[in-house]
Amino acid sequence: MATVNIQNIQKNYGAVKVIHGIDIDIADGEFVALVGPSGCGKSTLLRMIAGLEEVTGGAIRIGPREVSHLPARDRDIAMVFQNYALYPHMTVADNMGFALKLKKADPAEIRTKVQRAAGILGLEKLLDRYPRQLSGGQRQRVAMGRAIVRDPQVFLFDEPLSNLDAKLRVQMRGEIKTMHQRIGTTTIYVTHDQVEAMTMADKIVVLHDGHIEQIGAPLELYDRPSNLFVAGFIGSPAMNFIDGRIEEGAFRTKKGLILPLPQGVAAAGGRDLVYGVRPEHIRAATHGIEGRATLVEGTGSEIYAKLDARGEEIACLFRERLDVRFGDTVSIDIDPARIHLFDKQTGLRL
Amino acid sequence: MASVSIDNPIDETTERRSKPARLAPNYWPFVMPALLVVSAVIVFPWLFTLWMSVNSWTLGQPRTFIGFANYLRLAQDMRFWESLWHTTTYTVLSVVLPLFFGTLAALVFDAKFPLRGFLRGIFVMPMMATPVAVALVWTMMFHPQLGVLNYLLSLVGIGPQEWIYNQTAVIPSLVLVETWQWTPLVMLIVLGGLAAVPREPYESAEIDGATAWQKFRYLTVPMIAPFLMIAVIIRSIDAIKSFDIIYAMTQGGPGTASETINIYLYNTAFAYYDIGYGSAMAVVFFLIIIALSFVLLMVRARANWSDMEER
Ligand SMILES: Nc1ncnc2c1ncn2[C@@H]1O[C@H](COP(=O)(O)OP(=O)(O)OP(=O)(O)O)[C@@H](O)[C@H]1O
Ligand SMILES: [Mg+2]
């Protein structure tokens, strides 16, 4: 186990800048999720930490050691790949024990460690199988087993669950989290699924185009997103953004829709702003802002609706059963304490 | 579809039942030509060879049935046992050496470097030459006085060798030619194997702490093993049957030092016209090849990691 310290890391592919100077500090035993849209550089960053990709600039420290230019095999990290990258010609047991075998560990010791990892992951019955004889979820667990057996300083995961179906994904999410709680190894976990990040991580790093948008605990990102990108990325369904200005103590859109504000923000008057409110923070009310339903989707536990309120589209998530149909007029109420205001120009939170 | 069968259920069932019966008599005319050709060109020659091998029949003299006498004679024929030994050494060396150098070349040509395509093209050229032309060129190169090989050796201070004109050097010399010609084939097969090897396990191995050698030893070799096996099979069958290069260069000489079963068989049947004895030899040789193929196929099934479930 170790801390991981990333300082001003950069990566260029030829003239293309992919990572533009990133700093992350990871405490010993922390579970950090790297999230961001496709192509933002998550895998690249992770592969640089692993040593599979050269760094263009900056420094990576694992524990007290500077490892930026060490080959992967000297970094004492374990990695689970998106496509698992198992050894196709080895059995499950050999796959898991390979790293130890390379270190010339005693065969009996390898067997014990593999058995223990297999026990944690429920793979005992599959030890003699070959990867091609396993299901996706089983392969995924073998890939994890290969990492656990190593007992490394740091675990790196690159979207390990993206190939699994929704149910298995939820189950494996729980298993990874449980495993982390049991073993306590520092973990860096790449995902583009923000639900995974929110549920598993101690700390989330939001990446966008090779920059860090925000680093923080899951609820911190949810409650106080520091800019429009994070606000739109974290939370599902996504936050509503409504353009307008503050006039006479209220938020007013161009088309004249008036939205409630918390106390003490009048100072921000006079410039273009974006009003953000999460769909789940909108409640149905007997009177309030009125909108016509343009989309209604019920899942049983909740109702997702899009309303047209004076030309502004507002998505709402109602937890109670409402009898809403397409074209109905609905009155809603927004909790002013839970809204977010951003500067339209800079995208930053006010 | 559904409505048709409901409208006319009886018709359909009768038709379905009678179909095979109606087809059966029509089968044979289609199968007959193939059957005839196969019998004429494969089955008949074999039966004829078997028949000749139990007869004493020298061309121009009357034929007499002698049972297994030819086979008994074979068992006591020192020249036959010697030719069997020659065949074995020749085959083993002609498999192992091209396999080694071909794999090495494949690893070299699998890496990226300038002019790779061009050099690879040059490298595979020996494979395309006809054996007799190859034999001619090498015979000249092997010439003790005029050959370029002895000249090259003299440059590095090694005295002249007798190559194919020496009893002990002749088989290694022939193997040298065989290796020169067939290393490219092995290289092509192994290159195909290397291209089919997945790249991701190498990154895993890197993370797992493997050195370059360990990656080669524990990933590359087992993953290209099925392709190596294919190369071994092709090479073994080719080498054991090898005739043209040996005959064109040495005719089995000097003396009988490079006489393989194939050459001895040829000499018996077509130089001494002892057809019956030659046939017996052909039958035994054929059995040896069958046995070899069987062993190779068994080994191959074991080397196949991509088809594990069959085990
Ligand atoms: N070898 C390369 N040469 C040039 N550009 C590359 C190379 N590898 C990656 N990139 C670019 O770097 C950027 C980041 O890629 P990366 O694989 O890190 O994205 P990612 O965040 O992991 O995306 P995803 O969620 O789709 O996996 C992309 O824009 C990609 O096109
Ligand atoms: Mg990626």
pLDDT tens, A21-62?
Answer: 999 999 999 999 999 999 999 999 999 999 999 999 999 999
ipTM: 0.81
* Closest CA relative to residue A235, chosen from A197, A264, A200: A197
Scanning the structure block, which residue is given the tokens 């088809």?
B307
pLDDT at A266: 63
The model's pLDDT over A319-342, given as tens digits with 9 standing for 90+, comes to 888 888 898 899 999 988 899 999
Which residue's CA is the nearest one to ligand 1's atom 7? A13
Six token digits for residue B140: 């000249």
A258-259/A250-252 β-pairing: antiparallel
- Average of per-residue pLDDT values in chain B: 86
Residue burial A264-289, b: 16+ Cβ < 10 Å; e: rest: ebeeeeeeebbbbbbbbbbbbeeeeb
- Residue-level pLDDT at B217: 92
Q: Is A54 in the pocket of ligand 1 (CB under 6 A)?
A: no
Whole-number Å distance between alpha carbons of A249 and A336: 13
Q: What is the arithmetic mean of pLDDT over A246-265?
A: 85
Pair A233, A35: CB distance under 8 Å: yes
For A240-343, CATH gives 2.40.50.140
Q: At what angle do helices A166-183 and A107-121 cross, to 10 degrees?
A: 130
Superfamily of A4-227 according to CATH:
P-loop containing nucleotide triphosphate hydrolases (3.40.50.300)
Spatial neighbors of B208 by CB under 8 A, at least 6 apart, are A73, A98, A99, A102, A146, A150
Residue from B197, B200, B207, B311 to probe the interface with A (highest A Cβ count within 10 Å): B207
> Tens of pLDDT along B63-112?
888 888 889 998 899 999 999 999 999 999 999 999 999 999 999 998 88
Residue B206 to residue A72, Cβ atoms within 8 A: yes
Instruction: Please judge whether B209 and A99 are an interchain contact, meaning their C-beta atoms are less than 8 angstroms apart.
Output: yes
Domains identified in chain B and CATH numbers? 69-310 (1.10.3720.10)
A187 CB within 6 A, ligand 1: no
What does the pLDDT read at residue B307?
Answer: 52
Give the residue, A322 or A106, on which the prediction is more confident: A106
pLDDT > 60? residue B9: no
**pLDDT score for A205:** 95
- For residue A217, give the DSSP letter: -
User: Which band of pLDDT confidence, cut at 50, 70 and 90, is reported for residue A192?
Assistant: confident
User: What integer is the mean pLDDT of A257-270?
Assistant: 79
Domain boundaries, chain A: 4-227, 240-343
- What pLDDT, on a 0 to 100 scale, did the predictor assign at position B20? 52
Element spanning A23, H or E: strand A16-26
Q: Is the pLDDT reported for residue B308 higher than 60?
A: no
pLDDT digits (tens, 9 = 90+) for B152-171: 888 888 888 888 888 888 99
pLDDT class of B1 with cuts at 50, 70, 90: very low
A41 lines ligand 1 (CB under 6 A): yes
pLDDT one-digit tens code per residue, B213-225 = 999 999 999 999 9
Reported as a single tens digit per residue, the pLDDT across B37-51 is 999 898 999 999 999
Cα B192 to Cα B186: distance, rounded to the nearest angstrom: 10
Beta-strand (E) ranges in A63-180?
65-66, 77-80, 154-158
Please report the pLDDT score of residue B12 as a whole number: 44
> What is the pLDDT, as a whole number, of residue B306?
61
Calculate mean pLDDT across residues A247-276: 83
Q: What pLDDT is stored for residue B22 in this prediction?
A: 57
pTM above 0.90, yes or no: no
**pLDDT at B15 > cutoff 50:** no
The predicted structure's pLDDT at residue B18:
47
> What's the length of chain B?
311
- Over range A70-90, report the average pLDDT: 91
Q: Which residue of A has its CA nearest to B226?
A: A89
Confidence check: pLDDT of B16 > 80: no
pLDDT band at A175 (very low <50, low <70, confident <90, very high): confident
Write the CB contacts of B171 (distance below 8 Å, at least 6 apart in sequence): B86, B89, B90, B93, B257, B258
Q: Residues B179-219: pLDDT tens digits?
A: 999 999 999 999 999 998 888 999 999 999 999 999 999 99
Considering only the beta carbons, identify the residue of B204, B210, B308 that sits closest to A85.
B204
Does B17 have pLDDT greater than 60? no
Atom of ligand 1 nearest to the CA of A192: 25
**Residue A227 CA to ligand 1 centre (angstroms):** 24
For helices B44-53 and B275-303, give the axis angle rounded to 10 degrees.
Answer: 120
Question: B280-302, pLDDT tens digit by residue?
Answer: 999 999 999 999 989 988 888 87
Contact assessment for residue A314 and residue A280, using Cβ atoms and an 8 Å cutoff: no
What is the CA(A162)–ligand 1 centre distance, in A?
A: 17
Whether residue A79 contacts residue A85, with contact meaning beta carbons closer than 8 Å, is answered with no
Q: Kindly report the nearest CA distance between residue B193 and chain A, in angstroms.
A: 14
CB distance A266 to A250 below 8 Å: no
pLDDT > 90 fraction of chain B, expressed in percent and rounded? 50
Q: Separation of A41 CA from ligand 2 center, angstroms?
A: 7
Contact B204 A77 (CB under 8 A): no
Mean pLDDT across chain A, nearest whole number? 90
CA of A160 to the centre of ligand 1 (A): 17
Which residue CA neighbors atom 12 of ligand 1 most closely? Answer: A18
Q: Is the CB of A16 under 6 A from ligand 1?
A: yes
* Number of the ligand closest to the Cα of A39: 1
Is residue B185 within 8 Å of residue B102, measured between CB atoms?
Answer: yes
Q: Which of B23-27, B68-72, B161-165, B261-265 has the lowest mean pLDDT?
A: B23-27
For residue A132, the chain B residues in CB contact (below 8 A) are: 306, 308-309
Question: Which of B58, B48, B90, B45 is closest to B263 using CA atoms?
Answer: B90
Which of A52, A80, A91, A98 is best to mutate for the B interface (most B CBs within 10 A)?
Answer: A98
Quote the CA–CA distance of A221 and A241 in Å, as a whole number. 17
